[in-house]
């Protein structure tokens, strides 16, 4: 019985995933990811290179002579990358899609926990009588 229920839950989960993958935002996010990695390759490499240097310098804290320079360069590289048209669109769609996923997860959690709380509170109330 449990195996059958688990199989049913997995089937429904895969169906939900298939539905989400057909969402126009998800499709556009995947397209934008490819475009960004091709169009802004230089900016991404610069950002990652500076980020790596910054993180390495951060290990030494304020004592590293170049920490402030790396911090400034990282901020500039991030600003340059994040003001790109496709990156702005990507981030907007990603947030929207993530918010929808969060709502779905919350509804599943509330459904489960509401059922669980009802059983638990019922037991608790009987013991407290």
Write down the pTM of the prediction: 0.76
CA dihedral 102, 104, 105, 109 (to 10 degrees): 130
Matching residue, tokens 């991404």:
44
pLDDT tens track for 35-64: 999 999 999 999 999 999 999 999 998 889
Q: Which domain holds residue 65?
A: 41-83
pLDDT tens track for 81-106: 999 999 999 999 999 999 999 999 99
Residue 75 CB: number of other CB atoms within 10 A?
Answer: 12
Q: Please enumerate in sequence order all residues whose Cβ is within 8 A of that of 97, keeping only pairs 6 or more positions apart, or say none.
A: 23, 25, 26, 29
Whether 107 and 45 map to the same domain: the answer is: no
Matching residue, tokens 């989960």:
13
CA 113 – CA 88 distance, rounded (Å): 37
Distance of CA 53 to the CA centre of its chain: 25
Whether 53 and 65 map to the same domain: the answer is: yes
Of 124 and 20, the one with more pLDDT:
20
Average pLDDT, the chain: 88
Task: Give the total number of structural domains in the chain.
Answer: 2
State the pLDDT at residue 126: 46
Residue 63: burial class (beta carbons within 10 Å; 0-12, 13-18, 19+): exposed
95 located within any domain: yes
């Amino acid at each position: 019985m449990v195996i059958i229920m688990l199989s049913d839950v997995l089937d429904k989960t895969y169906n939900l995933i298939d539905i989400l993958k057909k969402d126009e935002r998800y499709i556009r996010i995947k397209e934008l990811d490819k475009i960004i990695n091709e169009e802004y390759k230089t900016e991404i490499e610069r950002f990652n290179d500076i980020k790596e240097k910054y993180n390495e310098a951060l290990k030494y804290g304020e004592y590293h002579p170049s920490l402030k320079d790396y911090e400034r360069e990282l901020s500039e590289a991030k600003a340059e990358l994040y003001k790109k048209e496709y990156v702005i669109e990507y981030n907007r769609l990603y947030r929207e899609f993530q918010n929808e996923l969060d709502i779905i997860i919350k509804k599943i959690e509330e459904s489960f926990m509401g059922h669980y709380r009802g059983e638990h509170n019922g037991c608790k109330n009987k013991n407290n009588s």
